[in-house]
Chain A
Amino acid sequence: MADMAELTATRDEARVRPLAEPWRRRMIPWLLLLPAFAVMLYSFVLPMLVFLQYSVFSFERGRLIEDFTFKTYVKFLTDPFYHTIILDTVKMAAITTICSAAIGYPLAYALWRVNSPRLKRWLAVIIFSPILVSVVVRSYGWTVLLSDQGPVNWFLQSMMGFSEPVKLVFNLTGVVISLTHVFLPFVVFPIFSTMTRLDPTLREASMDLGAGWWTTFRRVTFPQTLPGLLAGMQICFTLALGAFVTPSLLGGGRVLVLPLQVFTATTDINWPLAAVGGMTLLVLAMITVVLSNRLLRYSEV
C-alpha cells in the first residue's frame, strides 16, 4: 500500500514537464499573418476610424463643422426617406440572395452529379464567367437585353402573348437580374464544395432503406449541404448590400440603395451623412454575418 501511495505521489508531481516549443517555430504563424494584418489596418481599420469620426461631425449650410454630435444619426434613423433607402437596400439584397440560391443550388447539384470531367470543367468556367466580365460592360449588356425593344421583351410579346413590353430594366427587376447573374458563382461554389465532401455511400444507404430520389435528397443530401448554402447566401447578401455600379446603371435612378446614397452625400460634400450611411451598411453586414454564423452552427452536425 505504501508503495502504491508513493507511486501515485510521484505521478502527480509530473516529473517530466512538456518542453516549450522553440520561439522561432512559435513565431511562424504570426509572421504569416503580418501582411494581412498590415493591409487590414491600413485599408480597413484606419478608414473606419476616420468614418466614425466624421459621422459625429455635423454639416450645416454646406459647411462641415468639426464638433461632437449624434444629429446626423438621429436624422438618419427618424427620417422616413432614409428608412425607405435602408429597406430598399435590404430588399434588393434579399431578393438577389433568394434568386441566386434558387438558381445556384440546382446548378451546384448538376455540377456535382455530372460524370464527365470535361463537361464539369466547362460548366465551372461558364458559371464563373460573370466575374470575368467588367461590371460596366455586363450592366450595359443587360440594359440592351432587357430593354423594351430587347430580345427578352420580343420573346415575351411574340411568343408569350404580352400586349405591352414588360419593364425589366431601370427598376429593381433589372438590378436583381444583373446582381443574381454576377453573384451566382459565389453561391454555387460553396454549395458545390460541401457536396463534393459528402460521403456517396450515404445516398446509397438512404436508397437501400427504401427512400426514393426525392426523399434521399430532402432528408440526407440537402441537410448536409445546408452549411454551404448558408455560406453562399451570406456572401451573396453582403456583396449585394454593397453593390454600387449595378444599381446605379440598371436602376435608372429608381433604385436608391445605401451605397448610392453614400455616393450622393459625398458629391454634396456632406461627409457626416455619407459616414452615417456607411456605418449603417457596416452594421447591416455585421448583423448578416452574426445571424448566418448562428444558423451555420445550428445547421452543422
Chain B
Amino acid sequence: MRKTDLALTLLAAAGLSLAACSDRNSPEGQASATADAAAAVSETLPQALDNAAGLQTVAEALKETGIEGVFQEKASYTLIAPEDDAFAKLGDPGKQLTEADDHAALAALLKDHMLTGYMTPQDISAAIKSSKDGKVLISTLGGGTLTFTQAGGIVNVSAEDGTQASFDGDPVTGGSSIAIPVTGVLKKL
C-alpha cells in the first residue's frame, strides 16, 4: 500500500475515533449511563434502614412522620441516624416521643438529624483534618447546626443544646442518600 493511502487511512481512523468520543453510545458514555441507571434502581434509604440491624427506630420514625417520601426522589440527604440503643437510653420520654399519635415532635427531631447533600464519614473526617480549628459545622434541615470533631480516629458530633454522639459502624446507603449511625440522640428530651 502506498504511503499516501496509509496516511489517509490513519486519518480516517483518527477522525472516526474523535467522532465517537462525543457519542453517547461510546464506551465512556455507556459506562456513565450505566452508573446513572444503577443509581436510579437502588432501594431507598428508609428501605435500606429497615433491613439494617440496630436502626429500626429511626427507620420507623421516617415512615411514621411521612419524611420517608423525600427519599424517593433524586434529592440527596445525609441522615445522622441514632441507633436503637440511643433511643432506648432516653427512657420513658423517648417512648412517649416515638409512640405518640401526633408525630410533629418526632418530625422535628428527625429534621435536626438531617443534612442536605451526601456526606460519607470519610468526607466529614477529611474536612475536619483540613479545617483550621479541628471542627466543621453543618446546617441541619431543622434550622440548627451540628459540630463535628475527631479524636482518636472517632468522629464526634454535638448539637447546640449540648447533646453529643459518636459515629458508630458503617454507613447505610439507599437511593441518593446516606445514613451514618451514631451512638446518641442529638436533641435534649
A and B: interacting chains:
no
Q: Interface on A for B, CB 8 Å cutoff?
A: none
